[in-house]
Every structure is written in C-alpha cells, then in structure tokens.
A and B are shown apart, each in its own frame.
Chain A
Amino acid sequence: MGEEKAEGKIAAGKGAWETVEDKFIEIFSSPKLAIFIFIILAVLSVFGTMIEQNREPSMYIAAYGDKWYGVIRGLGLTDIYHSWYFSLTLILLSVNLAVCFFRRLPPKWRLIRDKSVVMAEDAILRQKNSARLNHNMSLQHIKDSVFGLLRKKGYKVTTAETGSDVSIFAHRGAIGRIGSDITHVGLLIIFLGAILGSFMGFKGFATIFEGETKHIKEGGFELRVDKFWIEYYDDYRPKGFFSTLTVIDNGKDVLKKTIKVNDPLRYKGIWFYQSSYGQAWDRIDKARLFVYERETGKFVAEVIADFGKEIEVPNTNLKLKIIGFVADFFYDTASKEVFSKSIEHNNPAMQIEVYEKGILKTAPWVFAKYPEAFLDKSTKYFIEAAGYQAPQYTGLSITRDPGVNIVWVGSTLLTLGLFLSFFVIHKRIWVKIVDKNNKVDIYVGGNANKNKINFDKDFSNLINELNRIEK
C-alpha cells in the first residue's frame, strides 16, 4: 500500500460542469472521506450492539421507558443496520471505493506495464538506491553475468543495446502495486453479493413433524422429515441434533440426507439447516394413565392410551379416550375455550372421555403435573396421567441466497489484495553498462515501493555480487 498521494488540482479554463466533476472525484477519492466513513460505520455499529436489535416493543419499554422507546424507535436505533442512514453510509463507501479504484488503477497499471528499459546514467544515479562500479571485463560477459544474477533473484529482466552500451531493466512484484485496488474491488463485489442476496434470496423457518411432508414453494418440491433424534455425550450434554430428510421432486424420492448442525442439505439452490427442535403442543401420540378408586385410593389399572382411540380399562367397566391435548393449559373464561398459552410444555393437560358401560359419562381435563386437580366425580374413579409421548418436530432454517458465492469471490479477492499489498514489494532496478575499451563502467539504480529497509539490504547484496563478478 504505497501509492503516492494523489492531488486533485483543478485546471484553469474548464467548464463549470467539469469543475463540479473534478470536485466530486477529488472528494470521493480522498482518504479523509474513507476514514470518516469507517468511523461513522464503527460508531453506528457500536450503537447497534449496545441497543438490542429487532426485539419486541415491550422489551424496549421495560429497559428504557415509554418516552425513550419513542426516541430510540424514531431514530431507527431498534433496527440500525437497516436504517436509511446506515444504508446511505454504505452507499457512500461504495462510491468512495469505486471512484478510488477508477482513479488510481490506470496510472498504476501504466507504471507496472512500463517496459522502458533505457535510462540515462545520471537518472540511474538519482534513484533511491544507486551505485557505480567498474570491471576489466568484456561488455558481453558483464551483460550475461548481470542478466543471470537478476534472473536468479527472481526478477523479470529485459535488455536493450544502445550503440556500444547495454541497458537492462529488471523488476519483480509489480502486482503488489495493485493489491489495494484488488482489495477495494473485492469489497465492492461482497456488497454486490449481499445486495443480490437480500433482493433475490429468502430466509424461512419451518417446523416439520416426523413423517410429515412439507411443500417448499420456493423450489417447487416436497421435503419429508423421516426421523429426528438427539445424541448425547456420556455427561448428557447434547452431542448432535439430526434430521433425516428426503427430497421428493415430481413425486419421486430424489435425495436423502441426514443433516446436523454444520452439515445442511442442499437441493436446487435451497439449503436446509438443522436449527431447533421440539415437541408438539396440540397433540400427543399416546399417554400412560393410572386409574384409582376415588374413595379408597386403591390402584385399579394402568393403560397406555393412543390418542383418539377408545381403550378398555381392565377390572372395570370403563373405557377411556383421549380427545384433546394442550402443552400449556389455559382456560379463557370469556369464550369458555381451552387453548395452549405457549408451545412450551409448562402445564400439559389432556382431555379424556370416560365411558361407563358404553355411555359417555364425562370428559374431564387431566393435568400431568397436577394430578390432585382431578375433581370430576361423575364416576367412582380417579384418573392420573403418568406420562405421555408427543410427536417431535424438527426446526429447519430454509434459505436461498444467490449472492453467497459472489460474496465468497469478493472475500477471496479482498484477502488476496491485502497479502499482495502488504507482502509483495515492487522492486525495480535499472542497469547501464558502458563499454570503455575492454573495461566497463556499470551504473546501477533501483527503488522499491514499500519496505525500503528490506530493499536497502537487497540492493547492497546485489552490488557486492556485482563487484565479485569473475571472468
């Protein structure tokens, strides 16, 4: 990153429009603006991490109070990364990057393509590093030696005969000059990919029960969840969450894969990620029920009842049928309806129809966590829900992002550009060998665009080796 400071001088005698254009280019290619934009983006991002983003209003009101919530919301601080001023700053940055790129690249490109070999002796001696030496050897021998030496050091060497003299130009690492430009283009490409992704992609989430099939409308195919399970370490910490998925396209099973965290399924550009899991909140597969005599508390029988199916209770004339389930029981007194307050199994309850001699007697709610809440006295029995099994669902993130590969291309260029600009030095050396009747004068000059201390060493090594050229 050693480009010269660019000055945007406005030449006299230009039209008003050209002056405006020059002014625009000058402002947008100045490093001051870049630094200013970095600071703005950093400060806005700090705000974004200090104030939680995209939460429900009640959370903000609890944390900041009504009045401040209005202010924070009004300023867009609850979704700062999508606010107009954040977007505007990113646009400014993009313009800054593009203007810099188009302004700085052409002169650098001309410089690295520059193949002018011949340089006058005094110009050579005016280089940052220079030396003059002589040998009692033939011009041709010196020329071959210098040529070989520079080639061995990895330089690209070109020579030109100028009358009785020989000129040599050698350089290496020219690509290092445009490292910063490659980085800037990489960043622009990342932005492009991000914009493409946000307009053409989608992010969704689905909960699918084992055995269920879901239509994926964005891809025009079906996805079936065959199985979901959790594996544990010896200390009962989860080791992995797994879903076996089958893609059904045109009625045929076309792809089957067991996904886990870090290992998604991909089909037709749509990715399915293992994201969460849980149990149904509105139904169960089966329940284990205990039946007692209410008066004596005597245990009568245990049955495993399938959801929605009548089951006979041994030793009695009872039949039971589970007809409803809620994971988090709530009774709405206004509508007189039962529903689940949440999807958490906080207060699981099931409604059971009780038939005596084939006649429906009652249909009480049985609370799995509070057996003593069974107050129904229609029969002489007391029913307890000892356990139940609810269908499991897997939570899948479903995304399509056509910009993501563009983002990776940009990221690669960005990184490559950084390494080029920090570690690849453009070193240039000019040599002129002047023939003086079987003696030669050698003029050597050179410079490097960065890490000049390193080049000082290189150059003095080169001069030492040139001094030691033998016949």
Chain B
Amino acid sequence: MINSFLWVDVTFWLYLASCAFYIFYGLFYKNNTLGQLGTVTAVAGFITNTLALGYRAYEAGHAPFANLYESMLLFTWATVLGYLMMEFKYKFRIIGTFVMSIVFFSILTIIWLLPYRYQNIDPLNPALQSLWLEVHVTTTFIGYAAFAISFGISIMYLLKNWVEKKSSDSGLKKFLLRFPDLNILDDLNYKSIAWGFPFLTIGVITGAVWANYAWGTYWSWDPKETWSAIVWLIYAGYLHARVTHGWRGVKTAVFAIIGFLAVIFTYWGVSFILPGLHAYA
C-alpha cells in the first residue's frame, strides 16, 4: 500500500545511497560518476521526501508540521533543496559529502531514535489550528536548513584549515585539499547564513503574531521563544562580526558552529528538556 511511511522508507534509502556516493566521490576523487550518482540520488530522495510530506498531509488532513517526526521530514526536505540549489549554482559537489551526511543522520534519527508514537498521525490540537502554522513552520525550517548547510561548510573550513598547516602527505590530506578554497568556503558559509537569518527572523515574528492570537501575548519568554532569540542573537553576532568588524575564517566558522548547536538545542533540546507552551516540536 502506498502511504507516507512507504515514502519515508524510500527516502531513507535514497538519502543513505546519496550520502554514500558523495563520501566515495570525496575519497576516490578521480571518479566523477560517483558524484553524479550522489546528485541523482539526492534529487530522487528530494522527490520522495516531497511525496512523503504530501501523503502525510493528505492522510492527516492538515499541514504535516504537527510533531517532531513531521517537522524533521520538513527539515531534511528544506536542507536537501537548499543544498541542491547551492550545488547547481556553485558546482562544489564535495560539500554534498557533509550536507548529505547531516541529512542522512537526521532521517536516521527519526526512524530509529524517535519513539514510535511520534509517527502517529494525530489530529491537530486546538492551539495548532491556525493559518499561521504553515507560514511559521515553513519559514523557521528554511532558516534551520540554511544553518545546517552553514554548519557543514564550517566543519569543512576548519578541517581544511587544519590540514593545510600539516606537512604530511596522507590520503586524508589529499581528500581535504579537494575542498574549495578557504575564502570560498567562508563566503558560502556567509551566503547560507544570509539566507537563514531573514527566514529565521520571519519564523520568529510569525510565531509572535500567532502567539498573540492564541495566548494573548506576542512574547512570554517561553523556553522555545527564548532559545529562538538566543539563536537569533548568535547569528546577528556572526553577521556583525563578519560584515562590520571584518572577521573571517576560523573565528566565523566557530561562530557558525555554535549557532547551529544552539539551533539543535532550540529544536530538540527545548522540546525534551525544557517543556513549555511550545511542546509539539
């Protein structure tokens, strides 16, 4: 029977394949076919991911953004979309090695780690029945996806920066030296955040508008709200450091990594450790 779980399974295997192709492409660098296979499977996974979300919406009768399982499917969807756009525009396939690893790990998490009850299709509780659900969740997750890509690129930056100083001629060094130039990585990192930041901002603001309709206050220092503000402050710090203060390289890469760790905590940590009003995902 064709249903959303089938599409999630297919997406899982496609993302696994894509991740593997990109990694082998990175390690055995003379083989362009591996890279192309990585892209093709990523595109195929993106299509089935879209179908999984579409079927889920059809089965539930509402936008599939009501719990962690569903929002993680949106996260992988937006991250792959963002990555494919970047690959199409800048042609640095090696970045896929890192971004598709994040995507694969994400979908692995919801299939294996998340308690099974999260996969249930639940009716929308009264607080979630709002037109703001779609726009708040979508914009926030475009932001998260862009920050995930920036995280992958920052790791690449630090690895390449570290290996460039080493004199040994190991296979690892050959692999890492294939990464784009440091200044290109730094620039792509900035570009990802330049996409993520405005969307995160819209996500926070639409969340505030929604809260004002649902709870009668646009800001109540709920843990989810507060952590989204912390994430916002970190990336605002990144932008001022880089654009106005002229920071580049290691410092901004570390900044972006801290930012994404805060995103993970806002998304998962707050939901499990700091319960509040925003207890869905």
Contact = CB atoms under 8 A, between A and B. Distances in A.
A440 to B, nearest CB: 37
Interface string B115-142: 0000000110111011000000000000
B32 interface: no
Given A275-B216, A422-B194, A415 B201 contact: yes
B129 A240 contact: yes
Contacts of A401: 217
Contacts of B226: 45, 48-49
Contact of A38 (B194, B221, B233, B243): B233
A79 to B, nearest CB: 10
A235 B197 contact: no
Contacts of B221: 48, 53, 81
Interface string A413-427: 011001100100000
B249 interface: no
B230 A46 contact: yes
B274 A49 contact: yes
Interface stretch (B66-74, B103-111, B152-160, B206-214): B206-214
Interface in A227-247: 233, 235, 237-241
Nearest to A240: B126
Interface string A162-185: 000000000000000000000000
A404 B216 CA distance: 11
A418 B240 contact: no
Contact of A34 (B227, B234, B240): B240
B198 A418 contact: yes
B contact face: mostly helix, strand, loop, or mixed:
helix
Interface in B193-250: 194-195, 197-198, 201-202, 205, 208-210, 212-219, 221, 223, 226-227, 229-230, 233-234, 236-237, 239-241, 243-246
Interface residues of A, number: 49
Contacts of B125: 237-238
Contacts of B236: 38
A279 B104 CA distance: 50
Contacts of B239: 1
A281 B187 CA distance: 64
B233 A203 contact: no
Interface string B233-272: 1101101110111100000000000000000000000100
A106 to B, nearest CB: 17
A388 interface: no
Interface string A81-106: 10000000000000000000000000
B214 A35 contact: no
B217 A35 contact: no
A325 interface: no
A418 B197 contact: yes
A242 B234 CA distance: 41
Contact of B217 (A38, A203, A238, A453): A203
Contacts of A263: 213
Contacts of B213: 262-264
A31 interface: yes
B126 A261 contact: yes
A262 B126 contact: yes
B201 A273 contact: no
Contacts of B198: 415, 418-419, 422
B215 A42 contact: no
A42 B274 contact: no
Nearest to B234: A42
A237 B122 contact: yes
Contacts of A81: 221
Given A42-B234, A271-B216, A399-B216, A35 B130 contact: no
A38 B232 CA distance: 9
B214 A262 contact: yes
Given A31-B244, A422-B194, A239 B201 contact: no
Contacts of B205: 411, 414-415
Contacts of A237: 122-123, 125
A118 interface: no
A258 interface: no
A262 B127 contact: yes
Interface of A: 1-3, 5, 31-32, 34-35, 38-39, 41-42, 45-46, 48-49, 53, 81, 194, 203, 233, 235, 237-241, 260-264, 271, 273, 275, 397-399, 401, 404, 407-408, 411, 414-415, 418-419, 422, 453
28 contacts: A1-B239, A3-B244, A31-B240, A38-B236, A39-B237, A42-B233, A42-B234, A42-B237, A45-B233, A48-B221, A49-B223, A81-B221, A203-B217, A235-B123, A238-B125, A238-B126, A240-B129, A262-B129, A262-B213, A264-B216, A275-B216, A397-B215, A408-B209, A411-B205, A415-B198, A415-B205, A422-B195, A453-B187
Given A35-B237, A237-B123, A273-B214, 7 more contacts: A31-B240, A39-B233, A45-B230, A203-B217, A418-B201, A419-B198, A422-B198
The 6 closest A-B pairs by CB, nearest first: A31-B244, A261-B126, A397-B216, A418-B198, A1-B243, A38-B237
